[in-house]
Structure 1
């Protein structure tokens, strides 16, 4: 589904990533973990082509394009290969209605679409209730639901979430985690960033820990839960 080998990237003359490696298989949930400033968002941006990669390899996409090199491709071409992004800060279109936000990204690239308006509204009933409201009038939690729904409307092979529940109320967080668990149960591949360690340990199959732009540890939820010294060294502030 996705294979990243020794990825390097940066902003201007500043290198941020200096050796990130990870993989996501079909139906897997994988997390990027690490303290603030360690390169998690930069990794997501580089994978989506929003930031030029300086080195390494990124291979992936839809099944019949397995092994396709992604580095150097434009973001819209990467999206067409099956990557859907829920960006940090949600970034919904503020003047478009909920329904317009969703239909603006709708795509069917791999046969019959799995996700349309009916399916997204079934996942997030509150969005249907507010379907005529502009994005700017939604609460933070509703905007995050909309950002997830908008990414699903691209019918992605791999869903990328940058800060899946940051800044949300506890009840909304619980709803988002329940949705992600449902997506996993239905076979959706997911790569996500989130600081809620207990939730990601329950949801994810594997974790990749970043430190100063490098992958320093990869393992299962059971292995991470059994490694308090690793969590203290790389995850706690």
Structure 2
């Protein structure tokens, strides 16, 4: 299993957002996509998942391949069936469906992630299973968004702003969930601003600046380079 993104370029209208983004993820790896706001992280995820055309964007060049299969031009639902599961920025749960309906709406059969498995992972969702998506707190919605993605049995889980806007206790719970998924061998591409947390979790990091990959390396290498963090992450 591998995702390979090489020299990816993309635009919204006349504005080119991605100039040259490259990254790779192998089986069981956790890789982060880091950078300041507006540097192209979300656009990279949307391009990989085939979402740009529906948002007024387009891929201009480069390649994104999943197990050697080009993703360019494929519809998002086809990419999802190939084993990529997205937890989008802003959660985007279905507000007028119950928790259980949210989980089953896009679920695929035949894998380990059943309703019971998700409820064991997120007991709070079991307690709120009959509540509408709009009735959940931000943290509960994020749990639901992760659970919904897991119900598609992803080989690669993509999380865009995994803990943004969440209370500290909920953030800690989400990080514990991601650590448990990693321990089970789940591959993850992660966007989040909590540098300390992602450095504890991830195997490698990719830093983007103005739509270009400017650095990639391990947590140890990132920790050893305050100049890099100051230049590209403002940390």
How would you bin the TM-score normalised by the shorter chain? over 0.9
> Which residue is equivalent to 1:28?
29
Q: Distance in 1 between matches of 2:117 and 2:60?
A: 39
Aligned pair partner of 2:175 in 171, 174, 177: 177
Q: Deviations over 1:83-122 (max 9, x none)?
A: 00000000000000000000001113xxx40111011001
> Which residue is equivalent to 1:63?
none
- CA root-mean-square deviation: 0.8
> Which residue is equivalent to 1:143?
141
The secondary structure found in structure 2 opposite 1:229 is helix
Long gaps (5+) in structure 1: 61-65
Write out the 4+ residue segments of structure 1 that deviate beyond 4 Å after TM superposition: none
Q: Distance in 2 between matches of 1:196 and 1:14?
A: 28
Greater Cα shift, 202-211 or 112-121: 112-121
Quick check: 1:53–1:72 contact (8 Å CA) kept in 2? no
Matches within 5 A, 1:60-71: 60=66, 66-71=67-72
Deviation at 1:54, TM superposition (A): 1.2
Q: Distance in 2 between matches of 1:186 and 1:53?
A: 33
Aligned pair partner of 2:228 in 224, 227, 230: 230
Q: TM-score, normalised by structure 1?
A: 0.95
Q: Distance in 1 between matches of 2:4 and 2:206?
A: 13
State yes or no: 1:202 paired with 2:208.
no
Deviation at 1:221, TM superposition (A): 0.5
Q: Deviations over 1:20-64 (max 9, x none)?
A: 00000000000000000100001011110001321101111xxxx
Q: TM-score, normalised by structure 2?
A: 0.96
> Which residue is equivalent to 2:55?
none
Long gaps (5+) in structure 2: 53-57
The secondary structure found in structure 2 opposite 1:181 is helix
Q: Distance in 1 between matches of 2:111 and 2:86?
A: 17
Q: Distance in 1 between matches of 2:233 and 2:35?
A: 5
